[in-house]
Structure 1
Amino acid sequence: MDLNKIIDYLGSYDGPEMNIMEVCGSHTGAIAKNGIPGLLSPNIHLISGPGCPVCVTPSSYVDRLMELAMEPGTCVVTFGDLIRVPGSSKSLSVIKGQGGRVAMVYSPMDIVAMAQSEPETTFIFAAVGFETTMPVYALLMQTLIEEHIDNVKLLTALKTMPEVITWLCDKGAPINGFLAPGHVSVVTGIHCFENIASKYQIPFGVAGFSGEQILIALYGIVNAYGQGKVMNFYPSVVKEEGNLKAQELINTFFEKKDAIWRGMGIVENSGMVLKKEYMRFDAGSYDLVSDKKINPACSCDKVLMGLKKPYECPLYGKVCTPMTPQGACMVSTEGGCFTYFANNRHD
């Protein structure tokens, strides 16, 4: 169908109101960047869900990283976004300023050379992410074993998308459709969403990241209102079965476990942790069983669940900005609050 006709349809849609949730931080950014909300009918509402891995990482996890960073002979290795995410009282950036050893990298594989150059130091990798990044962590594990590197450990906060989507639906979140994550689906395929779509009679549209790809997916989702179907609008990249080799590699080293999501509590079977036979590489992931809310006024949990828009938080744009974030959703460039603020979005 012609893109102009799709835009006309979405702009003039007068059917039942639809709340469509995206669960990918890259989609959140692309939607804002391409001005997509301004093209939609008032009956179509886009909602940002728990699609930012840093945003859903619990404060107890950050607290544990800070403790490790202050231990003699230990270095915490992380991606840039996580360093500013608040724990229960501080962040890794504060701890680094207080003498804790924290290093930032662009790839988990960077830790291999670090560990080989400093065999007397224990390096802790902050393994945060969804299915998208799990193959890289599995590859890291494979490399550590093959190279006989024993001074690297992982503190895992790995999350799986189908389980949290099920959790949201079970909680009665007002969602009529999902813009399914393209990057995650490259690994998982699309079959993992089929039972959810069928059970709740909610359409899923797997989408790419250009404005055109997102609009095409939204068109498909709107036209499938009330139908439990999964549609792949990103077939050039996403295969129905996913990446079987990546899945096999992940399952070699990791297994399912209940996981804590920031502000949301425990979501059953939504985490991935190292298998028991690889526990020597674990830095205490199994001990993280609780979380605490940092600032009672922060609405990050409601934003992640699609119950509030970022600008409906009383802290938003006042004491909470990208320069002075009060919650994880304002820290990461993939966070809903950051994206809304950076793009002056008020839809």
Structure 2
Amino acid sequence: MKNLSKEIVERIENISRPVKIMHVCGSHEHTIMQHGIRSLIPKEVEIVAGPGCPVCCVPSIEVDECLYLARKGVTIATFGDMLRVPGTTGTLADAKAEGADVRIVYGINNAVEIAEKIDNDVVFMAAGFETTAPTTAAEIVAGLPKNLSILSCHRLIPPALKFLIESGEVNLNALIEPGHVSTIIGTEPYELFSKKYGIPQVVAGFNPFDILIAIYMILKQMDEGKAVVQNEYKRAVREEGNIKAQKLMDEVFYIKDKEWRGFPEIPNSTYEIKDEFADSNARERFDIKVEQGEKVPTGCICGPILRGIARPEQCKLFRKECNPMNPIGACMVSKEGTCNIAFRYGSGL
């Protein structure tokens, strides 16, 4: 593998050119930083991280919705990473310290188990991209306990990419597409970006060799004047994706415009629960009263980092006031967050 990696790096050097490649996956950024991939390739080949952390992308207002419910006595079940993601009125960790019943779960199945054991209303905060949305949909179709409902915070990757491409803010030339998301949606949703915008793309796996191969495949496309979607991760990703999972999501969710953290409203970018399953929708079940707004801590640049136009090292709070023990911005909270990864692996060299 070492010799193969060396050969790929040499091939990259032979056809390198100035290019900005964006990926949208926390696991990809983790691999890139842990193995110093940016130091292995020519400096003119720039790899930037986009909104690849599902927890980081949850905006303040959705955290505030959970805080409102928690402070009204509802039991909140959520992933551990969500506990310290900031809303405008604090975090779920703050609410827990105040005495609210906030419980860490590893998936919606754990929330079902909690609801079956207690009499109180339970709300599962369903954060995640297309990767985790099918599990939420499957439980809703199967029938939730009467005291359990879902606050859907699921987001869709392709609309965010379309927004970034059309905004021109990042000036990206190519995309490394996420492996986990692509196992669900397949490769077809990315076709538009190559056909309409001339962007080379590669769906990649998660080990260092996968990433290096994806970079080489992109550069080779550019060298040959091509712009297509290639699948480096064929061992897990099919062109059509997971049809059963897609049908489940189509049955349960409709797609709506909504803001992401660090973004304005992105068209067709989130999943909301259909009216047929209104009893499972926490927003329909409870009269949640929160005001629209995004509180950004002074000096925090999570927004530009999520949009791929800044790196953590450019933030004046990074490694100082903001660190994993005291995360000020959402990008420092989760181990999939760009700032958290940069903190743990330094420059990635």
Asked if Structure 1 and Structure 2 have the same fold, meaning a TM-score greater than 0.5 normalized by the shorter chain, the answer is: yes
Query: Is residue 2:175 matched to residue 1:174?
Result: no
Deviations along 1:280-319, whole A, 9 cap, x unmatched?
2111289888431321421000001111111111211111
CA distance in 2: counterparts of 1:123 and 1:9, whole angstroms: 54
Moved more, 272-281 or 49-58: 272-281
Counterpart for residue 111 of structure 2: 111
CA distance in 2: counterparts of 1:98 and 1:318, whole angstroms: 27
Query: Is residue 2:185 matched to residue 1:188?
Result: yes
Name structure 1 gaps, 5 residues minimum: none
CA distance in 1: counterparts of 2:113 and 2:253, whole angstroms: 23
CA 210–14 in structure 1, closer or farther in 2 if over 3 Å, else same: closer
Counterpart for residue 310 of structure 2: 308
Q: How many residues align?
A: 341
Question: Helix, strand or coil: the match of 1:303?
Answer: helix
Letter aligned with residue 224 of structure 1: Q
TM superposition shift of 1:10: 2.4
C-alpha contact (below 8 Å) 1:22/1:179 kept by paired residues = yes
Counterpart for residue 68 of structure 1: 69
Pairwise mapping of residues 320-331 of structure 1 onto structure 2 (< 5 A)?
320-331=322-333
Letter aligned with residue 124 of structure 2: F
CA distance in 1: counterparts of 2:32 and 2:292, whole angstroms: 33
Question: Helix, strand or coil: the match of 1:251?
Answer: helix
Pairwise mapping of residues 104-183 of structure 1 onto structure 2 (< 5 A)?
104-118=104-118, 120-145=119-144, 149-172=145-168, 173-183=170-180
TM superposition shift of 1:67: 1.2
C-alpha contact (below 8 Å) 1:62/1:86 kept by paired residues = yes
Pairwise mapping of residues 237-316 of structure 1 onto structure 2 (< 5 A)?
237-284=236-283, 290-316=292-318
CA 93–289 in structure 1, closer or farther in 2 if over 3 Å, else same: closer
CA distance in 2: counterparts of 1:30 and 1:168, whole angstroms: 23
TM superposition shift of 1:43: 0.8
Question: Helix, strand or coil: the match of 2:297?
Answer: coil
CA distance in 2: counterparts of 1:312 and 1:12, whole angstroms: 31
Query: Is residue 2:90 matched to residue 1:96?
Result: no
Counterpart for residue 211 of structure 1: 208
C-alpha contact (below 8 Å) 1:163/1:268 kept by paired residues = yes
TM superposition shift of 1:214: 1.1
Question: Helix, strand or coil: the match of 1:195?
Answer: helix
TM superposition shift of 1:81: 0.3
Letter aligned with residue 29 of structure 2: T
CA distance in 1: counterparts of 2:252 and 2:178, whole angstroms: 24
TM superposition shift of 1:3: 3.5
Letter aligned with residue 199 of structure 1: K
Q: CA RMSD in A?
A: 1.8
CA distance in 2: counterparts of 1:242 and 1:185, whole angstroms: 7
Question: Helix, strand or coil: the match of 1:224?
Answer: helix
C-alpha contact (below 8 Å) 1:19/1:44 kept by paired residues = yes
Letter aligned with residue 335 of structure 1: G
C-alpha contact (below 8 Å) 1:10/1:39 kept by paired residues = no
Moved more, 136-145 or 124-133: 136-145
TM superposition shift of 1:2: 4.4
CA distance in 2: counterparts of 1:58 and 1:137, whole angstroms: 20
C-alpha contact (below 8 Å) 1:260/1:289 kept by paired residues = no
Counterpart for residue 333 of structure 1: 335
C-alpha contact (below 8 Å) 2:252/2:273 kept by paired residues = yes
TM superposition shift of 1:223: 1.6
Name structure 2 gaps, 5 residues minimum: none
Query: Is residue 2:44 matched to residue 1:43?
Result: yes
C-alpha contact (below 8 Å) 1:13/1:41 kept by paired residues = no
CA distance in 1: counterparts of 2:251 and 2:336, whole angstroms: 29
TM superposition shift of 1:227: 3.4
User: How does the TM-score come out when normalised to structure 1?
Assistant: 0.94
Task: Work out the percentage of aligned pairs sharing the same amino acid.
Answer: 36
Letter aligned with residue 273 of structure 1: E
C-alpha contact (below 8 Å) 2:68/2:290 kept by paired residues = no
Q: Which has the higher contact order (CA 8 A, sep 6+)?
A: 2
CA distance in 1: counterparts of 2:227 and 2:193, whole angstroms: 8
